[in-house]
Structure 1
Amino acid sequence: MIRIIDLFLASIGLIFLWPLMIIICIAGMFDTGSPIFIQTRVGRYKKPFKLIKFRTMPLVTESVATHLVGASSVTKLGGLLRKTKLDELPQLINVLKGDMSLVGPRPSLFNQIELIDARQKRGVLDVLPGVTGLAQINEVDMSTPVKLAKWDQKMLQTLSVSNYFRYIIMTAVGKGSGDRVK
């Protein structure tokens, strides 16, 4: 059921938001010269996939977890995109491809061993990663891996269609801050 809702909402989102995404791409060309950011992340069953986002940092920024990067690494446009969560819009493509769900645990990098291990122990890696989830709307990010894995497990144990929509709506109206930069 959730997969059908994912496909429907991601399709609708892309249909209605493509003009905004084109504007962000054009602005991103002036900001960093490369508006799209693609990074290998940990997917369901630890299978790698290519996460798509709008770039919020210069091309030369080290490929590490966001909480390990200095705040000065975020561009002005990137700061706006992160604050409004518009940097996540291209992940609608990941949802259509079946790499992600709209709601699920945020996908980690493969070098985040402590988080991967904590999630593995709790069965969190047995589901598709998501664009948003319970941890994100409660401002729990990847800087606290065990705490994040516990929140992800709690979300999976209580996930219902109503909670699915609640997490999406709360994210859309600005609840939570996403991954923080140091």
Structure 2
Amino acid sequence: MSSLRKPPHEQDDIPFQPIVSNMSKTYLISKRCTDLVLTIIGLLLLTPVFIIVATCIKIEDVESPIFFRQVRVGRNGKVFTMYKFRSMVSNAEELKGQLIIQNEVQGPIFKIKDDPRVTKVGKIIRKTSIDELPQLYNVLKGEMSLVGPRPPLPQEVATYSSYDYQRLSITPGLTCYWQVRGRSSLGFKDMVELDLKYLRERNYYVDLKLIIKTVFVLFGSKNAF
């Protein structure tokens, strides 16, 4: 478990023994096919949104990158680089240590409602979850699925109990139960319970229902920050 304590840039794959048994191959293959088809359609339809958001980010801060890259932990502890539209100042990670005492979410997750690191454009795209759209690229690569537990940070996983580890038994997703049921207003334990609820109940209907609900979240969630 010592490898979990390494900083993100030194991490390779994190040792992990899956707890949850695999679903049927038919479901998993169909899920992957659905991910690919819907992701390609989504990227085509959302191209104008990508262009507008990228332009606004550059106008606000021409010298900073459009995309934010961050190491996350995926299925069975395998780490990968996750993509987002940049919604914070370029030195946000450096400033995090100064704000950690203001954390408003219980557990290893760091969230504060009025985060001073968030840019003007960032407030809008975070409220509507548009900042998450570049993760469609992660879905295409197979590192993520459209539906599944949200991928945590390595430093968060380093504090997990064996019970919490169960959420790493499947491919992480762009959306999940807690993304559409409360998001940042939920504590870490509630998030874990909802992720495990998905692991127990996941099927074609559940995946479709969560995808549809997520579309409505794009119009704004009062619990997103």
AA paired with 2:150? R
Match of 2:52 among 2, 15, 23: 23
Please tell me whether residue 47 in structure 1 is matched to residue 57 in structure 2. Answer: no
Choose the corresponding residue for 1:91, options 130, 135, 145.
Answer: 135
Shift in Å, 1:140? 4.5
Q: Which residue of 1 aligns with 2:181?
A: 138
Residue identity matched to 1:56 = S
Q: CA deviation at 1:146?
A: 2.5
TM-score by length of 1: 0.87
Name the counterpart of 1:129. 172
Moved more, 110-119 or 74-83: 110-119
Report the equivalent of 1:73: 117
User: Which of the residues 88, 93, 111 maps onto 1:62?
Assistant: 93
Aligned to 2:191: 148
Report the AA paired with residue 111 of structure 1.
Answer: Q
| Partners of 2:175 and 2:52 in 1: CA distance | 23
- Counting matched residue pairs gives 179
Distance 1:7 1:96, change over 3 A: same
1:114 counterpart = 2:159: yes
Unmatched tracts of structure 2, length 5 or more: 1-29, 97-108
CA contact (8 A) 2:127 2:224 kept: no
Q: CA deviation at 1:142?
A: 9.1
Following superposition, the deviation at residue 3 of structure 1 comes to: 0.7
* Cα-to-partner distance string for 1:47-89 (whole Å, 9 max, x where unaligned): 1000001011001112765515852221111111011111111
Partners of 2:160 and 2:121 in 1: CA distance = 29
TM-score if structure 2 supplies the norm length? 0.72
Instruction: Verify the 8 A CA contact 2:183 2:224 in the aligned structure 1.
Output: no
Cα distance in 2 between the residues matched to 1:146 and 1:114: 13
1:42, 1:109 within 8 Å by CA — same for their partners in 2? Answer: yes
Measured against aligned partners, the alpha-carbon deviations of 1:14-33 in whole angstroms (never above 9, x if no partner) come to 11212221221111112243
Describe the shift of the 1:116–1:78 C-alpha distance in structure 2 as closer, same or farther (beyond 3 A).
farther
